[in-house]
Amino acid sequence: MTSPAQRWLLAIAVTALTALPVRPGLVRAQAMPPAGPTPSRGATTAPDPVPIAPPAPDASPDQVKQAEDTAKAAQLTPIVPHPQGPTRPAFQLYAEIDLPVLTVGLVFVGARFVRTQQAFCVPDRCKASDLNALDRTTAGFWSPAWLTASNAGIVGLGVGAALLLTADEGFPAGMNDMVVIAESAMSATAVATVMTLAVGRPRPFVYGTRAPASEITSTDAGNSFLSSHAAVSFAIATSTYVAMHRLHPGSRLSYLVLGLGLGAASFVATSRVLAGQHFITDAIGGGLVGSSVGILISSVHGSPVSIVPVVGDHQHGLGIQGSF
């Protein structure tokens, strides 16, 4: 009889031997059958079985069927049930989650357009001396050119993310993942909008005389904190990074995408400050909120990939990935 320690050593030795590559001609038997023909991209996949706990030995078929029906009713509805690619898209969309998130985000963003109050210090009670030392350096800034640059930057960042994902994954999977990027951006601007309406901080140009009177007295003049442009830009950058990191694990490409995205987002945030639309603290706060929301929204979306084909020179099989 072997002792428990000997059995453990034997198991480890067998595991190590089976992990070694097999050279043709040395061993005739193969541990795993060769892979069959690769299914076409358009092939349909059978629905996944409904997960239930192991039935009791005396459970009747009707009770098992009732348990399966109950579990099925509690499942979320995937918008793309069976992705065509083995490792794409990066995110799984669910109708019960993503549609409400988009709807609530749109409603929150719309709150900006129903505001009727002017900035509290208009027309001539805004004093730069009331600001902190850092924000005082940009009080009175106004530049239509930098305003245009900030708008162009945020549009370019979003278009760039869409082109990157569709070029990497193809149109259907790329657009699937862009929904999550859009959710991240909309959630970030929704959070920023709540802060903006709650704080009601005047924009920097209200503290000077360069901006037209129509801008100073507009309802938008009191929407300085937080910077929605910064929040959206950093949300796009970070959520796109999460997507690329999932699509190319272990690759430096995702870090290159992150660096370029953060650089573009920083340009947008800086442009908003130079345009006189936001103070420095507004831009920093927007960047922090956007980065956090971008990571959060993209991370809570699980990957639709659960079984990944593993193909090597001398082995074939499946790698199974689970969550606990």
> What is the predicted pLDDT for the residue at 60?
86
Among 322, 168, 195, 318, which Cα is nearest to 254's?
168
Res 68 pLDDT > 80: no
Q: Is the pTM of this model over 0.75?
A: no
Q: What angle do CA 41, 42, 44 make, to 5 degrees?
A: 110
Cβ contacts of residue 297 below 8 Å, gap of 6+?
A: 101, 180, 183, 184, 187, 235, 239
> What is the predicted pLDDT for the residue at 19?
40
User: Residue 152 corresponds to which tokens in the numbers above?
Assistant: 């162009």
At 80-95, the pLDDT tens digits run: 766 666 667 888 887 7
> What is the predicted pLDDT for the residue at 314?
52
- Angstrom CA distances, 312 to 12, 126, 223, 303, 316, stand at 23, 69, 57, 24, 6
At 175-234, the pLDDT tens digits run: 999 999 999 999 999 999 999 988 889 999 999 999 999 999 998 999 999 999 999 999
Look up the CATH architecture of domain 141-324: Up-down Bundle (1.20)
Can you give the residue ranges of every domain in the chain? 141-324
Cβ contacts of residue 111 below 8 Å, gap of 6+?
A: 193, 194, 197
Determine which of 23-27, 126-130, 270-274 has the lowest per-residue pLDDT on average.
23-27
> What is the predicted pLDDT for the residue at 78?
75
Helix orientation angle between 280-300 and 228-247, rounded to the nearest 10 degrees? 30
| Amino acid residing at 256 | L
> What is the predicted pLDDT for the residue at 51?
64
Distance CA(276)–CA(287), nearest Å, equals 17
At 140-179, the pLDDT tens digits run: 999 999 999 999 999 999 999 999 999 999 999 999 999 9
Res 59 pLDDT > 90: no
